[in-house]
A and B are shown apart, each in its own frame.
Chain A
Amino acid sequence: MRFADVLGSGKFVVTAEVSPPKGTDISGALAEAKLLQELVDAVNVTDNQRAVMRMSPIVLCHKLGEMGFETIMHMTCRDRNRLALQSDLLAAHALGIHNILAMSGDYPTMGDQPSTKPVFDLDSVQLLQLIEKMNNGSDFQDKPLDGPTSICAGAVANPGARPLGPQLLKLNKKALAKARFIQTQAVFDAAVFNEFADAARHTGIPLIAGIIPLRSAQNARFMNEKIPGVKIPDEAISRMEAAVDPALEGMKIAAEIIAGIRTNCQGIHIMPIGGHGNTRRLLEMCGLG
Chain B
Amino acid sequence: MIITRPKPIEEILSMVEMFPGLSICVVGCGICARKIQTGGEAQVSMMTARLQRSGLDVLDGKMVKHACSTESWDTLVEENPALDKADMLLVMSCGAGISLLGRISGKPVLPGLDTTSLGSALKDEISEDFCVMCGECDVGLYAGLCPKSGCPKSQVNGPCGGSIDGDCEVGERECIWVKIYDRLESRGMLHLLDGIRPPVNHDRRL
Which residues of A does B touch, CB under 8 Å? 77-78, 82, 103-107, 109-110, 118, 120-126, 129, 156-158, 160-163, 165-167, 169-170, 173, 176-177, 185, 228-229, 231
Contacts and interface: CB of A to CB of B under 8 A. Distances in A.
A107 B157 contact: no
A123 B157 contact: yes
Contact of B161 (A82, A110, A122, A228): A228
Given A107-B152, A107-B153, A169-B158, 5 more contacts: A78-B153, A104-B160, A105-B153, A166-B178, A173-B195
Given A118-B152, A129-B196, A161 B161 contact: yes
Contacts of B159: 161, 166-167, 169-170
B161 A157 contact: yes
Q: Which range holds the interface residue count of chain B?
A: 20 to 34
Given A118-B152, A166-B175, A231 B164 contact: yes
Quick one: which of A120, A177, A185 has the most chain B CB within 10 A?
A120
Interface string B139-169: 0000000000000111111111111111001
Contacts of A157: 161
A24 B25 CA distance: 54
A229 B163 contact: yes
Interface in B9-65: none
A226 to B, nearest CB: 10
B116 to A, nearest CB: 15
Contacts of B178: 163, 166
Contact of B177 (A78, A125, A158, A166): A166
B170 interface: yes
Contact of B153 (A104, A126, A166, A229): A104
Interface string B163-195: 111100111000101101100010000000101
A109 B164 contact: no
Nearest to A155: B161
Nearest to B151: A120
Q: Which of B154, B157, B166, B185 has the most CB of A within 10 A?
A: B157
A123 to B, nearest CB: 5
Contact of B196 (A103, A105, A125): A125
Contact of A126 (B175, B193, B199): B199
Contacts of A231: 164
Contacts of A77: 153
Given A166-B178, A166-B181, A229 B162 contact: yes
Contacts of A163: 166, 178, 181
Contacts of A173: 157-158, 195-196
Contacts of A126: 157, 196, 198-199
A185 B199 contact: no
A82 B164 CA distance: 28
Contacts of A229: 161-164, 169
A161 B158 contact: no
A109 B193 CA distance: 29
Contacts of B154: 120, 123
B161 A156 contact: yes
Given A120-B154, A123-B156, A107 B196 contact: no
16 contacts: A78-B153, A82-B199, A107-B169, A120-B154, A120-B155, A121-B199, A123-B157, A160-B164, A161-B164, A162-B166, A163-B166, A163-B178, A165-B185, A166-B177, A166-B178, A170-B157
A161 to B, nearest CB: 6
A121 B134 CA distance: 12
A169 B181 contact: yes
